[in-house]
């Protein structure tokens, strides 16, 4: 049996294996958390598969990462060097903001920048944010998402690496709290922007309230945005509301 997914034929028999992933605090850098594969006991070079083939889902208590939080959680996807995260966290001591990066070097760099500003309400996750949302973040526990200038993966054969796809938006919708909650989006890449807005428009209960004309969130620009504006590149910023 076959089915189509984003224009690619996939066989149901070729299922993607599920792995154990553990959330651990960094031993040497306060505020940095790792969400990584558990290693197989039989072959430490390989990740450990779950015995039943199902996702390894363990609900997170946000107080594990933010012991002092009082309920307001925001997530930035792809924090780069941490410019937005540090400034936004400084302006909003009432919020607790988790940044994220796949690469350790970037995640550690952003965390060090945050610590220079002595921000106790901000932390960094190093790992795959999709699986973190799917397997750890509880329903209705996040107030807002921010996603600015992600890698556009411009080559068509790499589009599968793009995070903005229906299964990701499903987790965003599930984890946002009831009511109108915002997803802040920005990119300089025209084609990726059109791709993203098509998915936002098609997702149930998702409304683009500011399309391509939104200002930088609270006037805070990321390091990439500062660079791109100086180069004269067009910038596409939108605000998307997930209605529940």
Q: How far apart are CA 148 and CA 188, in angstroms?
A: 9
Neighbours of 23 (CB within 10 A): 17
Task: Of 138, 117, 137, 143, give the one whose Cα is nearest residue 125.
Answer: 137
Helix axes of 190-202 and 166-175: crossing angle, nearest 10 degrees: 60
Q: How far apart are CA 175 and CA 19, in angstroms?
A: 22
75 within 8 A of 98, measured Cβ to Cβ: yes
Residue among 43, 61, 151, 201 flagged as catalytic: 151
Task: Of 41, 40, 49, give the one whose Cα is nearest residue 20.
Answer: 49
Q: Is 151 tagged catalytic?
A: yes
Q: How far apart are CA 236 and CA 229, in angstroms?
A: 11
The helix (H) or strand (E) run that includes residue 144 is strand 144-148
Catalytic site residues? 151
């Amino acid at each position: 049996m076959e089915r189509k997914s984003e224009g690619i034929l996939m066989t149901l028999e070729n299922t993607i294996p599920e792995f154990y992933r553990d959330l651990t605090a960094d031993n040497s850098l306060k505020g940095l958390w790792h969400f990584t594969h558990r290693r197989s006991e039989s072959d430490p070079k390989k990740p450990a598969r779950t015995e039943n083939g199902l996702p390894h889902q363990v609900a997170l208590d946000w107080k594990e990462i933010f012991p002092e939080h009082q309920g307001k959680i925001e997530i930035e996807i792809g924090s780069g060097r941490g410019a937005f995260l540090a400034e936004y966290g400084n302006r909003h001591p009432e919020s607790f903001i988790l940044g994220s990066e796949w690469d350790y070097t970037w995640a550690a760099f952003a965390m060090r920048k945050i610590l220079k500003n002595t921000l106790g309400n901000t932390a960094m996750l190093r790992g795959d944010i999709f699986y973190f949302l799917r397997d750890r973040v509880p329903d209705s526990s996040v107030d807002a998402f921010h996603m600015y200038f992600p890698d556009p993966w411009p080559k068509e054969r790499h589009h599968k690496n793009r995070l903005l796809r229906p299964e990701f938006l499903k987790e965003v919708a599930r984890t946002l709290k009831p009511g109108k909650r915002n997803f802040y989006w920005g990119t300089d890449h025209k084609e990726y922007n059109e791709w993203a807005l098509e998915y936002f428009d098609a997702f149930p209960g998702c409304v683009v309230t500011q399309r391509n004309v939104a200002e930088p969130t609270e006037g805070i620009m990321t390091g990439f945005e500062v660079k791109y504006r100086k180069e004269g590149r067009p910038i596409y910023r939108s605000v998307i509301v997930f209605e529940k």
